Amino acid sequence: MKTSLDFLLAAKRCEIDGLQRLAFTAHLVDVTARLVHGLQRERGLTNLYLGSQGKRFAEARLEQLVASRQVEAEWRAQFERLDAGAAQAGHGARLFSRIACVLQGLDGLEPLRRQLCEGGWDTARATEAYVRLIAALLAVVFEAADSATDPEVSRQLVALFNLMQGKEFAGQERAAGAALFARGQADASEQQRLLHLIESQERCLEVFDAFAPPETRALLSAPHASNTLAELERLRRVVCTAAHGAPLQPERSQTWFDVCSARMDAMKTVEDRLTADLRGTCEHKIEHAQAELERFGAFAEQATPDPLVFYLAPAHAPASAPPGAAQGFGLPIERSVLELVHDQARRLQAMGDELEAARASLNERRLIERAKGLLMAHRQLSEAEAHKTLRQMAMNQNRRIVDVAEALLAMAAVLPPR
pLDDT band at 417 (very low <50, low <70, confident <90, very high): low
Tell me which of 15-24, 27-36, 102-111, 191-200 is least confident: 15-24
3-state secondary structure the chain: CCCHHHHHHHHHHHHHHHHHHHHHHHHHHHHHHHHHHHHHHHHHHHHHHHHCCCCCCHHHHHHHHHHHHHHHHHHHHHHHHCCCCCCCCCCHHHHHHHHHHHHHHHHCHHHHHHHHHCCCCCHHHHHHHHHHHHHHHHHHHHHHHHHCCCHHHHHHHHHHHHHHHHHHHHHHHHHHHHHHHHHCECCHHHHHHHHHHHHHHHHHHHHHHHHCCHHHHHHHCCHHHHHHHHHHHHHHHHHHHCCCCCECCCCHHHHHHHHHHHHHHHHHHHHHHHHHHHHHHHHHHHHHHHHHHHHHHHHHCCCCCCCCHHHHCCCCCCCCCCCCCCCCCCCHHHHHHHHHHHHHHHHHHHHHHHHHHHHHHHHHHHHHHHHHHHHHHHHCCCHHHHHHHHHHHHHHHCCCHHHHHHHHHHCHHHCCCC
Instruction: Indicate the number of domains in the chain.
Output: 2
- Judge if 175 and 277 occupy the same domain: yes
Among 286, 318, 346, the domain boundary falls at 286
- Confidence (pLDDT) at 67: 96
Predicted confidence (pLDDT) per residue in 29-68, tens digit = 899 999 999 999 999 888 888 877 888 888 999 999 999 9
Among 254, 286, 318, the domain boundary falls at 286
- Judge if 260 and 356 occupy the same domain: no
In a domain, residue 400? The reply is: yes
Q: pTM of the entire structure?
A: 0.73
pLDDT surpassing 90 at residue 96 = no
Q: For the chain, give the percent of residues with pLDDT over 70.
A: 79
Q: Which domain holds residue 248?
A: 4-286
In a domain, residue 393? The reply is: yes
- Confidence (pLDDT) at 6: 74
- Judge if 266 and 385 occupy the same domain: no
- Judge if 272 and 310 occupy the same domain: no
pLDDT surpassing 70 at residue 129 = yes
Domain CATH number, residue 321: 1.10.10.10
In a domain, residue 296? The reply is: no
Predicted confidence (pLDDT) per residue in 260-294, tens digit = 999 999 999 999 999 999 889 889 988 888 888 88
- Confidence (pLDDT) at 116: 86
Predicted confidence (pLDDT) per residue in 65-78, tens digit = 999 999 999 999 88
In a domain, residue 258? The reply is: yes
- Judge if 206 and 265 occupy the same domain: yes
Q: What is the mean pLDDT of the chain?
A: 79
In a domain, residue 168? The reply is: yes
